[in-house]
Amino acid sequence: MDISSLSVKKIKQLIDSKNISTVELAGLYLDRIEQLNPQLNAFVTVDKDKTLSQAKQVDQLIAQGHSNALLGVPIAHKDIFCAKGWLTTCGSKMLANFVAPYDAHIIEEFNKSGAIILGKTNMDEFAMGSSNETSYFGLVKNPWDLTKVPGGSSGGSAAAVAARLAPLATATDTGGSIRQPAALCGISGLKPTYGYVSRYGMIAYASSLDQGGLMAPSAEDIAYGLNIMAGHDERDSTSVKREKEDFTAQLHHPIQGLRIGIPEEFFSEGLDSDVAQAVEQAIQELEKLGAVRVPLSLPNTSLSVPVYYVLAPAEASSNLSRFDGVRYGHRTQDYRDLIELYEKTRAEGFGAEVKRRILTGTYVLSRGYYDAYYLQAQRVRRLILQDYLRAFEQCDVILGPSTPTVAFGFNEKTSDPVSMYLSDIFTISVNLAGLPGLSIPVGFGKEHLPVGLQLIGPHFSEAKLLNAAHQYQLHTDWHQHLPAGIAGN
Amino acid sequence: MSLTDQEIKHLAKLARIHIEDTELSLLRDQLGKVFQLIDTLQAVDTTGIEPLSHSLALNQPLREDRVTEPNLRDVYQAVAPEVEKGLYIVPKVIE
């Protein structure tokens, strides 16, 4: 069986109709991972025995007549989610030997739904990066061109889905870490509304921005996954209480009359023409389906990057203070006293980007600078949210490119952190405002590299975003294109 | 703005990260670029704007004060670098 074209829906049908067993299907994916992962490095941990034993249990449930939402559907998890008994490294030397003693909320939910864990995917260290180059476990290659980055921080999940090593993958997004790699790898990726997906057991970077989400070839695949992932969890104090929603229910609604806001700031200086062209064609396609274009302005867009690089490092400097060599993770070999144990452990355990963000955060929170940097950034954060709230009075969704360029080369942006940070210019404001954002593939730019389009909606409008994307994907086939050299089996 | 080597060392001390003198020049250069970026916020007029710490107006959730977690000390300590009789071992802090 050629598994490279399998959707979540198709997998459910195959399993339900007993055309394939869970063990057989998981085996096919494990074979494909074994074959292709050495060149991509998308997975950092694969454990065949664990995967197959989970699959066997699910087959037994099926034999007993049980049914469940994702019974037998294979899934890859970003290595930021604690999964009991699995190495959970967060891309860092600090946690290189950390076997999680408990499950993250979303891991529990996927396990309960009958999904099968294929392994843990590579990522930028502690989710800090936009190219996956900060991982302690090596570069991830973009399946479309092995000399290009897959984006980050969820680069492993993105590459795994793009190469069809998994039909569905979890990921996280603090400033674009789902949508940017999804765009650069030619797949769909959703960052839900802040608070919709529990952060329990998801290793923290910037807690007021971090949000778990999903990657898959299509919006429809994501809808099936989100049904499992979204929901209240009292172990996360920012988890919102809402009725369980079926995100597949609205997919088939027509989008006649959908008002699509086009912010001029997303199409200005810095946007490459190949990306602009593909996005414009997608807008025209949506117009053919009945959507209406509404020009508008998000005047504070350019401030989102500096706001983010105050707030996220500030929160990170606090969150990452827990890595002290005492309770878990790396501990330095030689030390004279407790302070030296901390200082050397953290010097050895963290990579350069993580240290830089901790130092930045330490600075903006320190006495004398807190008002000037931290509070000022929080004020501008409100201006950015207000921009969006005003915009949504005129439109139903906002549309723009997910990234200013297609995938860039390795080491192209590593020496200048700010040039790397600017690759998230279109995604960061969405996290600051806590909104849902969905990136979908809409064609190819230079060197036949994928272009992503981003749909942004009001809080809790995931079903609407997935509906618009699904309608687009019913009429186009960009989400079905496969990178040359990895097609078929 | 740019930081002096002294300031960077002080920050590193506060953050409990040891840095070598050889790392200073690169750090100074890269942190300088980051601070140049975030300094652009100083020019924004935010008079009368309340700081936003969180995108959704959430209340602090409260729950009943009852035991919900079993004692899993041994499980959690299995991943610790050094434990003894249920205690985390660190260098002597008080003489």
Half-sphere exposure (CA, 13 Å, Cβ side) for A205? 30
Measured distance CA(A418)–CA(A305) in Å, rounded? 9
**A450 and A184 Cβ atoms separated by less than 8 Å:** yes
Measured distance CA(A449)–CA(A444) in Å, rounded? 5
Picking from A158, A155, A159, A3, the residue whose alpha carbon sits closest to that of residue A73 is A3
**A45 and A83 Cβ atoms separated by less than 8 Å:** no
Q: How far off is chain A from B31, nearest CA to CA, in Å?
A: 7
Nearest-by-Cβ selection for A341 from B3, B33, B91 = B91
> For residue B42, what are its two tokens?
């100083």
Looking at the DSSP bridge assignments, the partners of residue A472 are: none
Pairwise CB contact (< 8 Å): A434 & B56: yes
> For residue A296, what are its two tokens?
């508008």
E-assigned strands of A192-329? 211-216, 259-263, 292-296
A95 lies within 8 A of chain B by CB:
no
Residue A468's pLDDT is what? 98
A132 in a structural domain = yes
A462-475 helix and A273-288 helix, angle to the nearest 10 degrees: 90
For the question of residue A355 being annotated catalytic, the response is: no
Residues 6+ apart with CB under 8 A from A343: B16, B17, B18
Q: How far off is chain B from A480, nearest CA to CA, in Å?
A: 35
Measured distance CA(A86)–CA(A65) in Å, rounded? 29
Residue where the block lists tokens 């652009």: B40
**A91 and A126 Cβ atoms separated by less than 8 Å:** yes
Catalytic residue among A78, A148, A191, A413: A78
pLDDT of B54 higher than 90: no
A218 in a structural domain = yes
Rounded to whole angstroms, what are the CA distances from A197 to A431, A454, B18? 14, 20, 36
**A124 and A353 Cβ atoms separated by less than 8 Å:** yes
Catalytic residue among A153, A157, A239, A439: A153
**Burial profile A194-231: b = 16 or more Cβ within 10 angstroms, e = fewer:** bbbbbbbbbbbbbbbbbbbbbbbbbbbbbbbbbbbbbb
Residue A186's pLDDT is what? 98
Measured distance CA(A245)–CA(A136) in Å, rounded? 38
Nearest-by-Cβ selection for B49 from A99, A329, A382 = A382
**A4: how many CB neighbours lie within 10 A of its CB?**
17
Picking from B37, B27, B11, B7, the residue whose alpha carbon sits closest to that of residue A310 is B37
What torsion, rounded to 10 degrees, do the Cα atoms A376, A380, A385, A388 define? 180
A119 in a structural domain = yes
A472 in a structural domain = yes
Measured distance CA(A145)–CA(A448) in Å, rounded? 9
**A73 and A228 Cβ atoms separated by less than 8 Å:** no
Eight-class DSSP state of B78: T
A412 in a structural domain = no
Rounded to whole angstroms, what are the CA distances from A208 to A153, A204, A431? 17, 10, 9
Looking at the DSSP bridge assignments, the partners of residue B87 are: B84
Report the CATH number that the domain containing residue A116 is assigned in CATH.
Answer: 3.90.1300.10
A350 in a structural domain = no
Residue B55's pLDDT is what? 84
Please confirm whether the linkage preceding A297 is cis (ω < 30° from 0): no
Indicate the pLDDT class of residue B89, thresholds 50, 70 and 90: very high
For the question of residue A153 being annotated catalytic, the response is: yes
Q: How many domains does chain A have?
A: 1
Q: Which residues of B touch A385 (CB under 8 A)?
A: 52, 55
A349 φ, ψ (degrees, to nearest 5): -80, -30
Q: Give the range of the structural domain holding residue A151, as residue numbers without chain letter.
A: 3-259+459-480
> For residue A478, what are its two tokens?
């960009």
pLDDT in tens, A194-232: 999 999 999 999 999 999 999 999 999 999 999 999 999
Which contiguous run of DSSP H or E holds residue A190?
Answer: strand A188-191
Residue A488's pLDDT is what? 45
A380 lies within 8 A of chain B by CB:
yes
> Which SS3 state, helix, strand or coil, does residue A31 take?
helix
Pairwise CB contact (< 8 Å): B41 & A306: yes
Catalytic residue among A177, A198, A239, A461: A177
Indicate the pLDDT class of residue B37, thresholds 50, 70 and 90: very high
Q: Which residues of B touch A327 (CB under 8 A)?
A: 76, 79-80, 88
pTM over 0.90: yes
Residue B94's pLDDT is what? 82
Give the angle subtended at the CA of A87 by the CAs of A81 and A318, to the nearest 5°: 50
Pairwise CB contact (< 8 Å): B58 & A195: yes
**Burial profile A437-454: b = 16 or more Cβ within 10 angstroms, e = fewer:** bbbbbbbbbeeebbbbbb
Burial class (CB in 10 A: 0-12, 13-18, 19+), A47: middle
Nearest-by-Cβ selection for B12 from A335, A344, A359 = A359
> Which SS3 state, helix, strand or coil, does residue A194 take?
coil
Residue A159's pLDDT is what? 98
A27 in a structural domain = yes
Nearest-by-Cβ selection for A416 from B15, B33, B44 = B33
Nearest CA in chain B to A415: B30
Pairing state between β A169-173 and A43-45: unpaired
Which residue type sits at A339? I
Burial class (CB in 10 A: 0-12, 13-18, 19+), B95: exposed
A191 in a structural domain = yes
A327 lies within 8 A of chain B by CB:
yes
pLDDT in tens, A66-84: 999 999 999 999 999 999 9
Eight-class DSSP state of A203: P
Residue B1's pLDDT is what? 66
Picking from A120, A68, A122, A108, the residue whose alpha carbon sits closest to that of residue A229 is A108
Which residue type sits at A417? P
Q: Which residues of A touch B59 (CB under 8 A)?
A: none
> Which SS3 state, helix, strand or coil, does residue A400 take?
strand
> pLDDT truncated to tens, each residue of chain A (489 aa)?
899 999 999 999 999 999 999 999 999 999 999 999 999 999 999 999 999 999 999 999 999 999 999 999 999 999 999 999 999 999 999 999 999 999 999 999 999 999 999 999 999 999 999 999 999 999 999 999 999 999 999 999 999 999 999 999 999 999 999 999 999 999 999 999 999 999 999 999 999 999 999 999 999 999 999 999 999 999 999 999 999 999 999 999 999 999 999 999 999 878 999 999 999 999 999 999 999 999 999 999 999 999 999 999 999 999 999 999 999 999 999 999 999 999 999 999 999 999 999 999 999 999 888 999 999 999 999 999 999 999 999 999 999 999 999 999 999 999 888 888 988 999 999 999 999 999 999 999 999 999 999 999 999 999 999 999 999 999 999 999 999 877 543
Q: How far off is chain A from B12, nearest CA to CA, in Å?
A: 6
A304-319 helix and B24-39 helix, angle to the nearest 10 degrees: 130
Residue A126's pLDDT is what? 98
**A233 and A200 Cβ atoms separated by less than 8 Å:** yes
**A16: how many CB neighbours lie within 10 A of its CB?**
12
Chain B contacts in chain A segment 220-279 (CB below 8 A) = 234, 237-238, 240
